[in-house]
Amino acid sequence: MGVLVMNGKKIVIVGGGASGGTTAQFARKTDRAAHITIFEKGKYPHYSKCGLPYAIAGIVPDFLNLIEFSEEYFNKEHIELFLETTVEDIDLKRRIVIAKKGTESTSREFDALVLATGSMPMVPPIQNIQTHNRFYSGIHVLRTIDDGRSILSDIRKGKKATIIGAGLIGLEMADTLHKKGMQVTVVEALPRILANTLDDDMSDLVRETIQEHVTLYTNHFATQIKDKQGAVTHLVIKNRETNEDAAIETDLCVIATGTKPETTLAKHIGCAIGKTGGILVNENAETSVKNVYAVGDCTEYHDFVTGEPICVGFGSIGVRQGIAAGTNAAGGTYSLPKGLLMTRTSEFFGLEIAAVGPIQASLKNKTIITGKYKGSSLPDYFPGGKPITMKIHVEEPSGRILAAQAVGSNAAQRTNVYACAILNGLTVDDVRKMETTYAPPIAPTLDTLTLVGDVVALKRARKKREP
């Protein structure tokens, strides 16, 4: 820690990913004298996990480019960073964290403890997936830089790759492996891709694009790995309707079927665990244990619209929790909104998608009116306009906007308007009459953004007339 004497609050952060790293930064911003320590079990400081597919694709030139805050940064900020160091024990009474790097043990006292322990890949029950406690050669998950490097080293142009799971990361990886010249198959157990991200009809729009580039099996389980001398050769999948099996030739297999929160330490010190298996936190990123905070993928908070518990799985939310935990742990005040909007976006095969709020299936306890509109990003006469489809769900009879989804041009920034609207309890009439930005090379006079609201307004007016 150099010559500086840090005589402020002692803050220990377990986990140095984006959420933990952000916590440290905001603790430092809040208190220049705080004694801040991060224990990170991996090799690298604060890097972007979400960037891994793009480093594999070679768009981001090197995996180390994903490091957003370097060891030098943490040094400069007088934040003590231990890498490859695993926390072995937390003594809540004595307020001590004990960590180990190899045989070397380090302990730190704390006034505030922040758990940023992240999550682990969920691997479905697939026969013969492991040998000697590790995956067969060619089989991968994607959580760390080392996972990414390992996938990259297995990529062979012209060979076959299979992705298990058609969620956001699965489809990002499908695009990546396709870009690298592999023949890609995607296997999804549910009847639709992006089942947690988009409604069925919106997901079908994406499916059309995906299928131009990859082979897609929905409603199929991955059941078994076939190998030759310890290397994967086939993935056996089962049709959930017909129960028929098929063996897909594959040289590389990426499992992208979600994650589960890492909560071992949290349970050990008595933090309440929520229904989804994450550490329960409130709007201040506080756990049920005094002076213990938790941030990022290991936590559970609740949906802003439905109030249902949600396991936080987005970097954008983890970073915001880090701002709250870091500020609060260091003696400041920062509260997050009273629930998660789950604003989300991604892009694959040139198609941008975005959404905010629950999918329709999660709104079954509410009376809703739904609008959908397909427009163009530009006036019809202007060359280069791209399709943009938006869909919104509005609560009846209040008119309050509950959710929005977008597929196409500038889906993400258009969705941000709805994130703002939902967070502030605005109604469809509050939004649909706003003047949107208009210029021929940029957007039409009436944007899909508000036209989708007009669709809902028309339906509501009709409903009033014909009750």
Give yes or no for residue 435 binding a second copy (CB under 8 A): yes
> Among the options 50, 271, 311, 420, which is catalytic?
50
Piece of the chain touching a second copy by CB under 8 A; list 217-225, 229-237, 344-352, 392-400: 344-352
What does each C-alpha distance from 412 to 161, 353, 417, 423 come to in angstroms? 29, 7, 9, 16
First vs last C-alpha separation in the chain: 71
Give yes or no for residue 319 binding a second copy (CB under 8 A): yes
| DSSP tally for the chain: helices H, then strands E | 11, 28
Piece of the chain touching a second copy by CB under 8 A; list 35-43, 103-111, 130-138, 420-428: 420-428
Peptide bond connecting 337 to the previous residue in cis, omega within 30 degrees of 0? no
Residue of the chain from 92, 190, 236, 423 that contacts a second copy (CB under 8 A): 423
Give yes or no for residue 342 binding a second copy (CB under 8 A): yes
Give yes or no for residue 71 binding a second copy (CB under 8 A): no
Q: What is the DSSP letter of 296?
A: G
Give yes or no for residue 451 binding a second copy (CB under 8 A): no
Residue of the chain from 14, 151, 206, 317 that contacts a second copy (CB under 8 A): 317
Question: For the CA atoms of the chain, what is the radius of gyration?
Answer: 24
Give yes or no for residue 398 binding a second copy (CB under 8 A): no
63/48 Cα distance (integer angstroms): 10
Give yes or no for residue 65 binding a second copy (CB under 8 A): yes
Give yes or no for residue 416 binding a second copy (CB under 8 A): yes
Residue identified by tokens 């090799």 is: 43
420 is catalytic: no
Residue of the chain from 115, 116, 161, 341 that contacts a second copy (CB under 8 A): 341
The smaller minimum CB distance to a second copy, of residues 369 and 419, is found at 419
Residue of the chain from 309, 379, 387, 399 that contacts a second copy (CB under 8 A): 379
Grouping H, G, I as helix, E, B as strand and the rest as coil, residue 440 is coil
Residue of the chain from 407, 431, 455, 456 that contacts a second copy (CB under 8 A): 431
The smaller minimum CB distance to a second copy, of residues 9 and 414, is found at 414
Considering only residues 20-49, where is the footprint of a second copy by CB under 8 A? 48
Considering only residues 291-310, where is the footprint of a second copy by CB under 8 A? none
Piece of the chain touching a second copy by CB under 8 A; list 131-139, 214-222, 257-265, 413-421: 413-421
The smaller minimum CB distance to a second copy, of residues 48 and 196, is found at 48
Considering only residues 352-371, where is the footprint of a second copy by CB under 8 A? 352, 354, 356
Extended strands (E) in 303-343: 309-311
290/24 Cα distance (integer angstroms): 19
The smaller minimum CB distance to a second copy, of residues 221 and 304, is found at 304
Residue of the chain from 105, 247, 424, 462 that contacts a second copy (CB under 8 A): 424
Alpha helices (H) along 252-309: 264-268
Going by C-beta distance under 8 Å and a sequence separation of 6 or more, which residues neighbour residue 92? 269, 270, 289, 292
Torsion of CA 137, 142, 148, 152, to 10 degrees: 50
Min separation Cβ 394 and a second copy, Å: 15
The smaller minimum CB distance to a second copy, of residues 147 and 227, is found at 147
Q: How many residues bind a second copy (CB under 8 A)?
A: 67
162/250 Cα distance (integer angstroms): 6
Tokens of 387: 């399709």
Piece of the chain touching a second copy by CB under 8 A; list 62-70, 133-141, 211-219, 235-243: 62-70
305/362 Cα distance (integer angstroms): 10
**DSSP states of 82-134:** ESS-EEEEEETTTTEEEEEETTEEEEEE-SEEEE---EEE-----BT-EETTE
Piece of the chain touching a second copy by CB under 8 A; list 31-39, 131-139, 158-166, 343-351: 343-351
Q: 344: which strand partners?
A: 355
User: In this structure, are residues 311 and 277 in contact, taking their beta carbons and an 8 Å threshold?
Assistant: yes
Question: Which residues are part of the catalytic machinery?
Answer: 50
What residues line the site for a second copy (CB under 8 A)? 18, 48, 50-51, 54, 59-61, 65-68, 168, 314-317, 319-320, 336-337, 340-347, 352, 354, 356, 379-383, 410, 412-417, 419-421, 423-424, 426, 430-431, 433-443, 445-447, 449
